[in-house]
Structure 1
Amino acid sequence: MIELVVKEFLDNNLNIPVLLEKEQKLTGKFVLLEKTGGTSRNQLHSATVAVQSYADSLYEAALLNQEIKNVMSNLIEVENVSGVHLNSDYNFTDTETKQYRYQAVFDINYC
């Protein structure tokens, strides 16, 4: 599962919690991963992964988002990952919980 590969990579490169599922009422800085789509052809796989950066202020969420983009550019160094491309990133503040967050979406090629 590419989500586990990305989680382990981010765990090793960030000093904040990296989650696959959001815990209720979690606050502070943390990252939430979600695979939003993918394809496979001739044993070559592609996944779209959203990385949400949560923080206590919009500024801190934007800084964390930038750090995520910098770190994710090195995911290519992981065995079986053949490409990492930033699809988009944007302010994605959660209007329901009023938590500040940014989201960076990556297209990842792997085998």
Structure 2
Amino acid sequence: METQELINYLDELLVSQTGKHLDNLQLSILKGVLNGQKYADIAEEYCCTNGHTKDKAYELWKILSEALGEDINKSNLKATIERLGIANNYSKLFNPVQIGEINLCSNKRENEQKEKKIEKNIKKNYT
């Protein structure tokens, strides 16, 4: 997943849980951290103080921690995203109701196709 897609995903996740989008500085912090920047560099690009950027970052990590149910900070953001499967698979957070190969939150057609495949395999194995 591209950095911008990941940021959009996290923003939408927060909107769904809090009703609020990330502000511009929080978006800059996420993008900067994901690209290996230091807070001082992010602050310079955003034209604010390093202290203000750190304060906003602390606030951001707290919000993300609550949304993801994990302790998030600058140093573990990438590892946590990978561990949760967010970078490779949206289903970890958006589709938590899954039984075997059938995802109860995905579209109906996709579920029907998976159900047919499973039924076919069952019939094949037991006949």
Query: What range describes the TM-score normalised by the shorter chain of this pair?
Result: 0.3 to 0.5
Normalising to structure 2: TM-score of the pair?
0.36
Q: Which one has a bigger Cα radius of gyration?
A: 2
Structure 1 length-normalised TM = 0.40
Higher helix fraction (1 or 2): 2
Flag the structure with more relative contact order, 1 or 2, with Cα contacts below 8 A and sequence separation at least 6: 1
